[in-house]
């Protein structure tokens, strides 16, 4: 699979070189954090993975914490781009299905970072960013459900139950699969059944 830094490199503009280096470091950090965990990984380790000096890494990121936040923002940004592109012209129900599908695909793609998520979620430096992104996702779901109600596509009662239930379903499924060490296929099947049950509460 072509990485983001490789895509930027192909464009070839000198003005894009700093962004290429920055993306190269983020991708290297994702590999290192996924393989070694947050606490064990050092800036030196990330630099070696990126084939850059420690000083080059520090020119872009002042600390490991800042780099971790950049990874979180990068993954969230990629999700937002995909969601915007793939939901154009979709019904409200299709938008919710797309939200679920992309969420699942992102978890699978970044599965190596699953342990990392549980390592950092309660750390002070990450808590505000993670909370903000959770609230953003909840707002997206709430807006879709509200639009579906106004369009006559969803039940009126969905506004009070479905947004929170969707967030609980997605994050709960991820947490449970991690704790039980479920195979990807088993986890996906359970997720699909949960979505079908939730969908039955939506449609009139």
State the SS3 of the chain. Answer: CCCHHHHHHHHCCHHHHHHHHHHHHHHHHHHHHHHHCCCCCCHHHHHHHHCCCHHHHHHHCCCHHHHHHHHHHHHHHHHHHHHHHHCCCCCHHHHHHHHHHHHHHHHHHCHHHHHHHHHHCCCHHHHHHHHHHHHHHHHHHHHHHHHHHHCCCECCCHHHHHHHHHHHHHHHHHHHHHHHCCCHHHHHHHHHHHHHHHHHHHEC
Taking only the tens place, the pLDDT of each residue in 41-70 is 999 999 999 999 999 999 999 999 999 999
Tokens of 35: 């393989």
Cβ atoms 23, 67 nearer than 8 A = no
Which residue, of 15, 40, 60, is where some domain finishes? 60
- What are the C-alpha distances in Å from 175 to residues 46, 102, 178, 182, 187? 27, 17, 5, 10, 11
Tokens of 201: 């509460």
Whether 21 and 103 map to the same domain: the answer is: no
Taking only the tens place, the pLDDT of each residue in 125-178 is 999 999 999 999 999 999 999 999 999 999 999 998 899 999 988 877 777 766
Whether 81 and 145 map to the same domain: the answer is: yes
Position of tokens 């939506």?
A: 202
Whether 54 and 76 map to the same domain: the answer is: no
Backbone φ, ψ for residue 203 (5° rounding): -80, 140
Whether 43 and 81 map to the same domain: the answer is: no
Number of domains making up the chain: 2
- What are the C-alpha distances in Å from 17 to residues 24, 29, 33, 58? 10, 18, 24, 16
Whether 73 and 49 map to the same domain: the answer is: no
- The candidate with the shortest Cα–Cα distance to 26, out of 44, 5, 41, 6, is 5
State the chain's mean pLDDT as an integer.
86
What does the pLDDT read at residue 119?
Answer: 79
Whether 30 and 93 map to the same domain: the answer is: no
- The candidate with the shortest Cα–Cα distance to 168, out of 144, 189, 137, is 137
Q: Which domain holds residue 101?
A: 67-202
Residue bearing the bigger pLDDT, 82 or 112? 82
d(CA 98, CA 89): 12
Which residue, of 35, 60, 85, is where some domain finishes? 60
The pTM assigned to this predicted structure is 0.82
């Amino acid at each position: 699979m072509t990485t983001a830094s490789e895509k930027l490199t192909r464009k070839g503009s000198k003005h894009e070189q700093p962004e290429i280096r920055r993306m190269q470091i983020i991708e290297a950090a994702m590999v290192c954090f996924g393989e070694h965990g947050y606490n064990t990984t050092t800036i030196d380790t990330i630099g070696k993975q990126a084939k850059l000096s420690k000083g080059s890494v520090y020119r872009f990121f002042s600390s490991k914490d800042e780099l971790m936040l950049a990874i979180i923002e990068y993954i969230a940004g990629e999700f937002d781009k995909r969601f915007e592109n793939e939901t154009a012209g979709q019904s409200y129900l299709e938008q919710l299905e797309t939200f679920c599908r992309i969420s699942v695909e992102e978890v699978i793609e970044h599965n190596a970072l699953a342990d990392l998520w549980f390592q950092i979620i309660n750390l002070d430096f990450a808590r505000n960013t993670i909370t903000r992104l959770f609230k953003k996702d909840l707002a997206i779901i709430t807006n879709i459900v509200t639009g579906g109600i106004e369009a006559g596509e969803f039940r009126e009662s969905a506004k009070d139950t479905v947004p929170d239930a969707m967030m609980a379903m997605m994050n709960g499924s991820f947490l449970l699969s991690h704790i039980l060490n479920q195979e990807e296929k088993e986890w996906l099947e359970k997720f699909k059944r949960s979505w079908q049950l939730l969908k039955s509460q939506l449609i009139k």
